Amino acid sequence: MSQLFVESENKLQKKASLMNKELIIQAVKESFVKLDPRIMIKNPIMFIVEIGFLITLIMCFAPNAFGKSDVELWFNIVVSFILLFTVLFGNFSEAIAEGRGKAQASSLKQSKKEISANRLLDSGIIEEVPSTQLRKGDIVIVKQGEMIPGDGEVIGGLASVDESAITGESAPVIKEAGGDFNSVTGGTRVVSDQITVRITNNPGESFLDRMISLVEGAERQKTPNEIALNTVLTSLTLIFLIVVVTLPFFTQYLGFNIEVPVLISLLVCLIPTTIGGLLSAIGIAGMDRVTQFNVLAMSGKAVEAAGDINTIILDKTGTITFGNRMASEFVLVSQADENEFIQWLAISSLKDETPEGRSIIELLKKQNKTFDESVSQNAEIIEFKAETRMSGMDLTDGRKVRKGAVDAVKEWVASQGGIVPKDLDEKTNRISKEGGTPLAVAINNQILGLIYLKDTVKPGMRERFEQLRKMGIKSVMCTGDNPLTAATIAKEAGVDEFIAECKPEDKIDVIKYEQSQGKLVAMTGDGTNDAPALAQADVGLAMNSGTTAAKEAANMIDLDSNPTKLIEVVSIGKQLLMTRGALTTFSIANDIAKYFAIIPAMFMIAIPEMDVLNIMQLESPISAILSALIFNAIIIPLLIPLAMKGVAYKPMSSNSLLKRNMFIYGFGGVIVPFIGIKLIDVAVGLII
């Protein structure tokens, strides 16, 4: 199982390569496939360019197909080639973005095949099969450390099951045959003992499948910036289309005609083809930048949306906290000796390989507590059992040390003839009220003290949430824990709000409510119960340590499983928005230069007075048109480095950002085309 996981990780890392050979080859093929008008119509700008290409291509073979034409054949061929290049480049950028997302999603879905099941046959033989082959009524054996392969009920044995990925609760629960708690959920893990499970659902009917159906039914909102930009680009395209279509009527009134290839050239130069061709490249750049932070983005839109989020919803277990209960405090009971308590506390935990046991030894070392390990030599190790809810050691000198649930240890001490300390219940209740889990430690018939276990908040969380507040982002923690535990964790972590005893439906309701207020929402999580919310959120960041359902629902996967990574993702999203805004400004601004290149060229033969607008002193009407068209095409690949690198993100006011963009990219968008078109015109003039 672990090897399969490593192989899956390697596949993910391989797919993280932005421009691998397989992806480029496939993207080149897709560039031609996307010439299908049914696909191209989804991008109105490039669709119009494609129509222009088809018209000029037809005129290469039938010059008079759209009316009598005096344009030379070579001009039609050159225009067709330039328009085809423009369309293919736009398609290539889009194909790269789509190909990357599909490759990543395909790799993540392979993890479904990695869960195996030990199916018990009628003959008593146990066979290992993929969980997808299990049917209702099948019997499976699940041992310590194994994943439960499907929804079912326990018909034999008793075990502790970690359901944190499903319920959000950090503490394992006891599952036993014949009891009220005999149902188990696929995707949970057995942490002790062994159980026999009867599968109760066929494939497609499990809890996981229901979660996935919720995921597939959820819809993501378009970002306000995306909606605004689409509106602007579509409006500009329609305006220029109307202008160009009606232009021949005015020229006929003036007594001359404009050739169809010239009209097409004018239209292609005036509509915002530059930003239309660069949008996919900008998205790819954002995906590449988040990949540098070990985050896999399923689409550029997810990164863009991150730059606009107002609210972040976080799961507690495994996201804000480590997900495992860890020792945080040692509490003495009445008349117990501290040194003796520390000694037997350490002995009871030396051979305890559970996260709780290891955390006890780590805390002792951090507090510089000393103990004698030699007394545990040749001792009989008593492993934790769900039945006894205790672990410990039986020493060679007859002494017995136990550590476990308070009520279980109290019963054990009573059976040894001991007396329960008077303040034990009071201190136990205090720990429970603070949201912790108390464990008692006893030697023979004497209880020495308590261990305060709690689901520990990951380091640096408070500082990171403070950063989010400074960025204007509200944080909300959702957890299945009780309100007391949730409040304790929320206060320690520094989140703005929390929701306790939260079910999957509640998380979706919270996200929908925030979205109904016009806010964009980001969700981080790692459990199956987080999957619907991850899908509903505008930005869903799943932890790589999480479940398959969570990773499939999200549009981003954090390979480091660090929820605070969202801060970097937000910064990259803002950088992506700034880059898109800057290049949109440049794209619209450089139309000004094209006006002065192509419009005078169209009219100055019939209207000599128009020559006054030929401020660039272009060689001829033909060279002016071709120069503007060539510049319009080559500016797209020339701007790729800027689109890939991105505009540096610097926190500033909207007014300051607008002034900066207008000066650098607005003014630059006017000047650069004047220089570029003039240089191209000189070269074209030498050729023709």
List the catalytic residue out of 315, 455, 481, 681: 315
User: What is the pLDDT at residue 216?
Assistant: 40
Provide the pLDDT for residue 577: 80
Radius of gyration of the chain (CA): 34
Coil, helix or strand for 439? Answer: strand
Domain containing residue 450: CATH number = 3.40.1110.10
Shared domain check, 69 and 20: yes
Residues 260 and 376 in one domain: no
Q: How many CA atoms lie within 13 A of 212 on its CB side?
A: 14
Residue 146, domain member (yes or no): yes
Q: Degrees (nearest 5) of the Cα angle 623, 627, 633? A: 150
- Answer with the one of 393, 424, 456 that is the final residue of a domain: 456
Domain extent, residue 192, equals: 135-202
Q: pLDDT per residue over 476-511, tens digit each?
A: 988 877 787 788 888 888 899 988 877 777 888 889
* Residue 36 annotated among the catalytic residues of the structure: no
**CATH number, domain with residue 528:** 3.40.50.1000
Q: Tell whether 26 is covered by a domain.
A: yes
Cβ atoms of 454 and 328 within 8 Å: the answer is: yes
43 and 146 co-located in one domain = no
Same domain, 316 and 327: no
In a shared domain, residues 414 and 516: no
Show Cβ contacts of residue 277 under 8 Å, excluding neighbours closer than 6 positions: 46, 86, 89, 90, 93, 636
Q: Which residues contact 366 (CB under 8 A, 6 or more apart)?
A: none
List, in order, residues 6 or more apart from 166 with CB less than 8 Å away.
185, 187, 188, 207, 527, 528, 529
- Side by side, which strands form the sheet with 474-478? 295-297, 556-558, 539-543, 521-525, 311-315, 474-478, 497-499
pLDDT of residue 69: 72
DSSP state of 70: -
What does the block give as tokens for 76? 């039609």
User: How many other C-beta atoms can be found within 10 angstroms of the C-beta atom of residue 432?
Assistant: 15
Q: Are strands 183-184 and 311-315 parallel, antiparallel or unpaired?
A: unpaired
User: Do residues 607 and 473 share a domain?
Assistant: no
Q: Report pLDDT for 219.
A: 42
> For residue 340, what is the DSSP state?
H
How far is 140 from 156, CA to CA, in rounded Å? Answer: 10
Task: Enter the tokens of residue 26.
Answer: 């496939």
The dihedral through the CA atoms of 471, 474, 479, 481 has a sign that is positive
- Beta strands (DSSP E) in 45-150 are 116-120, 126-130, 139-142
- If one counts every other C-beta atom within 10 angstroms of the C-beta of residue 278, the result is 29
CB 168 within 8 A of CB 529: yes
Q: Binding site for ATP: which residues?
A: 352, 356, 384-391, 403
**Residues flagged as binding site for Mg(2+):** 526, 530
Instruction: Say whether both 475 and 361 belong to one domain.
Output: no
182 with 175: CB under 8 angstroms?
yes
One domain for residues 547 and 418: no
Judge if 395 and 444 occupy the same domain.
Answer: yes
636: CB partners within 8 A, 6+ apart: 86, 89, 90, 273, 274, 277, 278
Domain-located, residue 117: no
526 and 629 belong to one structural domain: no
Structure tokens at 609: 């007075």
Both 226 and 89 in one domain: the answer is yes
Mean per-residue pLDDT pooled into runs of 10, the chain (688 residues): 35 46 81 87 85 90 78 85 85 68 46 71 88 88 88 86 62 71 76 88 64 42 63 84 85 77 84 79 69 69 80 78 79 86 88 81 87 85 83 89 90 87 87 81 90 81 82 83 78 88 82 90 79 87 68 76 74 81 84 77 70 75 83 80 74 69 83 86 81
pLDDT attached to residue 3: 35
Name every residue whose Cβ is closer than 8 Å to that of residue 333 and which is 6 or more positions away in sequence. 421, 423, 424, 427, 447, 448, 449, 450
d(CA 70, CA 63): 8
Q: Domain boundary residue among 202, 225, 251?
A: 202
Residue 450: the pLDDT is: 92
Tokens for 120, please give them.
Answer: 């018990």
Instruction: Give how far Cα 236 sits from Cα of 232, 372, 581, 634, 685, Å.
Output: 6, 80, 16, 21, 31
- For residue 118, being part of any structural domain is answered with no
Is the overall model pTM greater than 0.85, yes or no?
A: no
pLDDT score recorded for residue 505: 79
Tell me the Ramachandran region of residue 645: left when phi exceeds 0, alpha when psi lies from -120 to 50, beta otherwise.
alpha
Of the candidates 415, 441, 456, which is a domain's last residue?
456
Annotated binding site: 352, 356, 384-391, 403, 526, 530
Mean pLDDT, the chain, integer: 78
Domain count, the chain: 4
- Say whether both 97 and 227 belong to one domain: yes
122 within a domain of the structure (yes/no)? no
